[in-house]
Every structure is written in structure tokens, then in C-alpha cells.
Amino acid sequence: SRVLKEILSQACAVRSCGALTALQVAHCKMASPGQEAAGDIDDSLYSRMRYMYGDTAMKKMAKSSVFLSGLGGLGVESAKNIALAGVQRLTLHDVRAAEVSDLSAQFYLKEGDVGRNRAEVSLPHIDQLNPYCLTDVCTHDLASCDLSFLRDGAYTTVVLTDTHLDVQLRVSDFCREHGIHFLSGDTRGVFAWLFVDLGEEFHIFDPSGESAASVLIADISRSCPAEVTALLLEKKSHGLQDGDWVRVSGVAGIEELNDGVFRVKVESAEKVSLWHAPAEGEEAGADWRPVDTSNAPAAFVGGSGELQEERQGKTMRFLRLRESLERPEFVMTDTAKWCHPANAHAAMQALAAFERVHGRLPGAWNRAEAEEVLATAKAAHTGEEALDEGLVLRAALCAQGQLNPIAAFMGGVLAQEVLKSVSGKFTPISQWLHYDATEVLPPACLEDGFDATAFLPDSSRYSSQRVCIGADACKRLAEAKLFMVGSGAIGCEMLKNYAMLGVASSDTGRIIVTDDDLIEKSNLNRQFLFRPENIQQPKASAAAEAIKGMNAALHVNAHLDRVGPKTEGTYSDRFFSAMDVVVNALDNVEARRYVDGRCVANQKPLIESGTLGPKGHVETYLPFLTMSYASSRDPPEGDVPFCTLKTFPAKIDHCIQWACDIVFQGQFASKALEYNRMVRQPDVLSRIEANDSELARSYRAVARFARKRPASFHECIGYARQKYETYFVNTPRTLLHKFPLDHKNKDGSPFWQNPKRPPRPLEFDPHDELHVSFILNGALLWANVWGISDVITDPAVVGKIAAAAPVKEFVLKDKKIETDEKAKPKEEVASRDELEEYRSVLVEYFRTHSDLREVTAADFEKDDDSNHHIDFISATANLRARVYGLKEAKRLECKRIAGRIVPATATTTSAVSGLAALELIKVLTGAPFEAYKYWFMNLGAPLFSVMEPNPVEKVQVTEGLEVTMWDRWEIKKGVSTLADLIAHFEKNMKLSVVGVCQKDGKMVYMAMLPMYKSKLEMKLRALLAQKEGEKYRDLVITFKDLDGNVVKNAPVVRYYFRRSKKPSGK
């Protein structure tokens, strides 16, 4: 009955939009009743997005309803992203029938859909994106209908795209009167804009979405104001900003500071001062009173305590559209185009005026009609700054166009604003965002005599795109040979953009995409090309098949390889040389660096992009023009010191890493693998009896592992109970014996001061849920290793058995405890007597157990909640945190850190992919250097930063000879022996060869060593062992100049082998 009521409720809601069609009824679906009733979040689907938004925002979104009008390019991008985010209901509205011009940007339309309502065509596709999002269609005419259905439908937010300004004003006024959030947006050629009105007062509970800063105190000054010096550990700064609120805790000797909440002023990257908050009613930041510690008592200990940031919400006020048109406030997207927003705003209104008079937009590249638009803009212009007439003309000339990358970018931004409106998470745009990509228009388009023939629309699906970039650019896109590495979140969006742009749609074009990963359920939330039936299929092949469905003319090949040194046979220099451009859609720095190196070696442009929650970047690296990806990256952050991880954790992250890398991997993975390697050995018993030296290296690990073999699940519980005693009782006792609470360092300072925290032994309590969770999940994992299937899963029963299990009596051991942060982990080496003892254990074990079989080593998998991996790691980490007095973490946070999960959402990937596709157009059309952009964005802030690419550095090798990192010296003829090679550089470049080695480091020649003189007359094909079919070999050569100085930055030398019928070597 509950399901029936829900269906009827949804049917009534759809009826409010007009007649209920069969199509609408078919797509009225609901979230899982069990999930809805419990208020839970489907972590298997939403986990990556959940880390970005948090549960509060996610649950608000799951109760919200969004009305979205206009299913053109911008509308469908926005609808896709909103549906993936998991709003409760999404209504798709449109009154327009699909036209050929829509096919350039609307990826759910095909040629056969021309003439059909765009919303009705899109509905079944949007419906498939998320099982928890109800979708329906409305076809009312918003220009004339009764708008009360928006109120009666209980819509949280109304979004209008591809809608005339007069209709926007009508709907905006209605929404403001009835407390409905209103947003609108549009794309016109290479111009786009969006508007946000969230009411007179809109409360944001988390303006930034950043993790609250937690700062260990290294010292507090005796001064007024008190200055706190932060202990940075692995961080570069304390992460606080002027005006942030912090709570002080754990400071020894100044109790009045503890539990106090203060404002901070930033003094440096390491230091902040503390101030009392202004009294209620005073302006924030006015007349702050300093915190005075100048008379701190003698007992005060500076190196104790911490600052915990306390995030504050904020309220924003918005003007309705009618008022904001006259008093606009802009968010900048590109500071190099500082005056563009105001002029684009004028162009937007002038275009609306033209459409009001003529019933259409100005004709494509119709100069007379563009001048009419300009005249309207000039007549309405009242600003102090002169109107940029050229910008207004450009907007009018290409207004009939549609460019998919711009729709993708703005669709990501607009959808993000919708999600802010329904969740209260992140700071909304206030209130206008104007964007343009005028750099892709022909530079001479405003000159007299410009021939716009190639920019006029035609009858093809790329008609609207042609208006923006011209026939020649469309042809170059169609003929492009593109290699993309990765087909995950960004990769799916990229491939969709390529389908709309017609990349590789001619017989000579080719897209090659490779990804060695398989589709998981958690991918479906943002990798929109995949469906539930694709789970466990290869990403690359599923994505390739999906985009062929969007544009059947595409030529795309899917590979299932990981690109790296092991696959250079496939992705060879010849392969890279055949490509026009390489695109990275990767999620790790190591792989990015590798692909970047291959692009530099083969002098190919690379388009690089990435996301982290609401943040994203797009960068283009061009041969001989820019630096490379590797040359412009920050150095990687240092590892956590081993002693910190093993003995002195300072934050929950250390506890989670210890639980994952040391405890979980040690207990259930690495030792099990070593055991299996020994079991696989032939005649293992006789070899151990003979004390085989090869096996002796594993005696210690395997013997200690094997002698704990359980015979029942009760013994597994006993094993886990003993581990509890070791980790959380005995180890803290040993540490406190070695370093008592009053222990001093050599300089007289307290040993136990930040970041070191003294542990507290934690006696086992069978009634404590966390204690029992460690035992239960540890026992289940141990049972799985040994193949014990008769298990107990009742926590209460397991707790009782664990409480009664015997534990070894604690014996204090005089072990060295490492305190040096620079010390590296050392492998424990067994003495000769210990090795003999372990050998005896193994002999007895292999004699006793005739059923030798391999055990099941745990293979860590974060997304399978049935395998107990995260449950065990979470319990282990939080018990350790409790021992050391650290703040515990929820299971979800433990999963994120242990699984190294990167927060992700479809909005950011959509926006990033759009900008990357614009850069692709520039690369393939040979745009000038100044046209390229490095984009950095934070959709949550919202913040956009655009920079010019870093120009390549030119390095002087010798006087008159400069090189860049993209150069290589090629030798194609006249050199057959090593002596010829040396003579070539002496004669042509005045350089003497000091050493020659291959790129793998193998030495070929060293001038200072006599042994190499005999090789001078050897043929290089023999000396380098030329392989059959090999055409060249890259060499790294060390030179000296005429003054005897070693030459720095000499490029790689590519030596082309002379033709030979029978090459030497194998």
C-alpha cells in the first residue's frame, strides 16, 4: 500500500504540469523504500560524492524537487548533473521541438528525433542515470500559463535555460513571491551566462566545504595578544584565515584558555594571534580584544594543546532578476577579460530585445542585424566605462551558434548552483556569471571584407558548431587522431564532448582510448556513460560503445591497457608520433608524469585535467611553446615519519594509516602471501629439513604465521583477543615504562609534548561496541584467511567469548623504541638460534599438516562492505586514537583515508571537460600562444582563476646554441661508428663527448676509461645491439665545451641506424 500511495502521489504531482501521459507514468519511480524509510544514503553509489557534500547536504538534496526548463545543450548537461546528484524529483520542461541545430550540443538527440519535443526525448535517458531520482515531463507554455503549478508541485528550485528574458522575468517574480529559488542560464555562440536568486535571505551552513583545520600547538607566547605557533608536521601552513573561529583545548598551565572560543588573526604561515570575539550585535572584526597571556603562570607548558577550527555559517541576500539586471554583481571567470562581464551583460539584454522584435535571434554572421543589436546596446548603455562594441558585435554574429564545450562547462557550473540552492552547502554565485570563449572566433571577423561563408550554418549535425568555429576547424576535428588515457569520470565527459564535436568522424580520424579498470557501482554516480548492466565490464569499451550511440560517425578504438613502461611495445614512439594530440583523463600523478614524458619525447601536445571535489584544473602543454606537466608540478608531499606511524601518532590519519598498512596488511595479507610462496615450493619439507638457504629468508615470518593456524572460529576470536591485548594494552605499557610521563629530553624539555602524546592502556571491555568490533571483524578476517566458514557474527556472543579467552601474561621487554623522525623502517633480523627455532617450528608444522594448501590472502577492497576490511580498519584506528587521546573518526572517514578516495562529483567533471574540449579545438586549429588558458576553479567557493601557460625556458648550451626541454638532436646519416658519433659533435657543435649511455642507464662509452677505446671503431648498430626492425635509439650524451666545462641541459640524441639487411644483435 505504501508503494501504491507513492505512485499516486507522484502521478498527482505530474498532473499539475498538465495531462498525465503514458510516457510520464512509465517514468514515475521512487527511491528504495528501505533506504527512504531509514534515511540512509546508498554509499555504494554515492560514496565519492558523499565525501564532498557530507550527509547533511546529501539528505537535503534527497528531499528536494527541481524544475528545469529548456532541454537544449545547456539544459541537458545541467539535467544530467542534477539527476546524478540524487535530488528527489527532477521535472524536465520544454515546449520546443528538436531541430538539426540542437544536435551540435544535445547529446541525447539523434537525427531521427528532429521534430519531437526535446524534453520527452531526453526523459528516458535522464531517467536511467539514477534510481533514486524521480523524473517527469512538463510541456506548459511558461509565457502564458498559470504558474501556480510550480508552487503546488512543491518545487525547491526552478531553473530556466533557452528561455526568453521576458519569460524569465515572469517566472522569477512568481518564484520570489512564493519562496522558490530561481536560476537561469543560456549559451549563445561562444558566450554564456547564468543568474542566481536564492531569495531575500539564504542560509549557508558550510560556505567552503573545506575540512576544519586542526592545529597542534608548538608554543604560546607570553604576550598580549597571545601568539600561537603551530606545529605543522607534514603541512606547509596552519590553514587558518583572518577571522576564523577556533576552540582551544589541552593547554597545560593556562586553564582559562581551554575550551575557549576565539577569533584569529594570521601573523604568518606558522603563527596566529588570539582575540576575543566582539560582543553580540557588534560588527564582526570591529574592536577585537586581544587574549592576554603575558602573565601566564610558571606551570604553563607551551608545547601542549591544539586549536580546532569551528566553522560558521553565513547568510546571503539576493536581488530578484528584474532588479539585478539593472544592478548586476558579477563573479569573474577570467581577470584578463576584466571588462567582458559588463559588456556581455549589455549584449545579453540587446539580444533579448532583438528577439522580442523579430521573434528570433540575429542571423548567423549577419553584420546588418549585428549592428542593430549593437545600436540597442548603445542606446541602453549608461555605465561610466565605454561599451566594448566589438564584443557586442561578436556576441550578435555568433548568437545562432551552439558549442558543446561551452554547454558542458556552464552545465557543470549551473548544476552546482542548483545543488547549492537545495542543500545549503557551498557559497552561491552572487549573482551573475558571464563567460566567453572569443579566442576561438576568427581574429579578423570584424574587419571589412571578412568572408563568413565557412561560418554559415549548413544542414549537417554540426551546423551550430560551424557558426562558432568554422568549416575548417570542424574538418580538423573530424580528421583528428587523438589518444586519451583513462575513461573514468573526466574521460566519460570528454568522450561525450568529442562525440558532439565530431572528433574523428572522418575516415582518416581516430580516437584511441585506453583504461585497464572495470566499472564499479560507485562509478555510476558520476561516470554517466555507464549503466548498472555495465558493472564489471571494461570502462574503455563500454564508454566507446556509448559515444558511438551518440554519434555513429565516430571512429573510436577501445584498449584495455595501463599505459606505462610495460606497455611501450604497444604505445611506442611510433604510436605517439602518429597522434595529433594526447589527452590525460587520469587520477594519479605518477601516470600523468609518465604520459607527459612520452609526449615530450615525441613532441606531442598534451591536454591535462583533474578534479578534487568541487575543484578542478585544465592545462595544455605545447611542444616548443610551454613547459611540460612534470616541470610545473609541486614536489610530492613527504611521507609520515615511521616512528610517528608506529609509536607516536599525532592525528587520526596516522592511526588509520597504521591500521591499514601495518596491522591489516601485516596480519591478513603480506604474511599470508609469504606463506603461500613457501607452500608452493616443491619438496618444501625436505628442503626445510636440509635448511635450504633460499627458504631460510622466510622462516621467521612463515613460522610465526603458521603456528597461529586456527582450528575453529573460537580460536580465531582468541587470536583477535590476543592482538587486542598486544596493540592496546601491552604496547602502551611498554612505551610508558620506557618514557614515563615526567620523562625529559636531553635539552631538559618534556618528552611528552606536541606532537607526542602519552598513550593510555585500554583494558578490553566486552560491552564496548568498538572493542567488540575489533574482535569480531579481526576474527572474521582471520577465519577467511584459513578457510573457516563456520563463524559467529553476533557481536554479543563474540564479546562474551573474547572476554573469557585466555591472554598471555604481560612480560616487559627491553626493546629499543625509535624516536628519530628520520629513521627508516628496519627489517627485523633473526639470530642464528632464532632461525633454528623457526625452522623447527616449520618442520613440525609441515609434518603435522598433510593438507597443505594456500591460504586466502586479503586483497584490500574499500567498496565491498561485506568483506569486513573497512570495519576492521575503522575499529583498529579508532581504538588507537582512543589510546592516544585523539579525536576518533567515523567509518566513512576511515574508508576515505584508508582507500585514498578522492571526493568527486559530476558537476566539476562536466565543467572541467568542457574547458579541456575548448583547448582541444585550439590545439587542432593551431591557435596562437596567447589563446591558451590554464584554468583552476573551485565551484564551491565559487572561484575561477585563469593564467597564461608557462612559456618554455630556452637554455644556452654553448654560445649561439639554445635548446628547450622539447628539443632532441637527431643523427640520420654520416655516422656509423662510435668514433663517427664523437667526431660529429666535435665538428658540428664544438662539443667533446665525455660519456654515452642509453636511456635505461646502460653505459656505452666513457672517455676517461681506457677499456672503452677499443669500441671506438665499432659499428653503432653492433655496439647498441640493434634489434630487428628497430629504426633508432635514444642516447643520453654528456658533453664538454671548448673550455672544458660540462654542458648542462643537453637534449636527448636520437641516432637513426643505417640501413642493414642483417642487423647485429638479437
Instruction: Give catalytic residues, as residue numbers.
Output: 643
CA–CA gap between residue 1006 and residue 1024 (Å, rounded): 15
CA–CA gap between residue 702 and residue 694 (Å, rounded): 13
Single out the residue of 508, 516, 514 nearest to residue 484, CA to CA: 514
Nine-digit cell at 942?
565559487
Nine-digit cell at 198?
536564492
Inter-residue contact 885 to 383 (CB < 8 Å):
no
CA–CA gap between residue 652 and residue 886 (Å, rounded): 6
Nine-digit cell at 1008?
676517461
CA–CA gap between residue 430 and residue 423 (Å, rounded): 17
Query: Which residues are CB-contacts of 306 (< 8 A; sequence separation ≥ 6)?
Result: 214, 215, 216, 217, 248, 249, 250, 754
With b for 16 or more beta-carbon neighbours within 10 A and e for fewer, the 364-390 pattern comes to bbbbebbebbbebbeeebeeeeebbee
CA–CA gap between residue 879 and residue 656 (Å, rounded): 10
CA distances 92 to 14, 619, 842, Å, are 11, 35, 69
**Residue type, position 765, single letter:** D
Number of H helices, E strands in the chain: 35, 32
Cis peptide before 431 (omega within 30 of 0): yes
The DSSP annotation for 422-468 comes to HH-BSPPP-SEEEEE-GGGS-TTTTSTT---GGGS--SSTTHHHHHH
CA–CA gap between residue 1004 and residue 453 (Å, rounded): 59
**Residue type, position 283, single letter:** E
Would you state the torsion angle of the CA atoms of residues 274, 278, 279, 281, taken in this order, to the nearest 10 degrees? -150
Inter-residue contact 836 to 843 (CB < 8 Å):
no
Nine-digit cell at 119?
524534453
CA–CA gap between residue 264 and residue 275 (Å, rounded): 6
Inter-residue contact 415 to 78 (CB < 8 Å):
yes
Residue pointed to by grid coordinates 556569471: 433
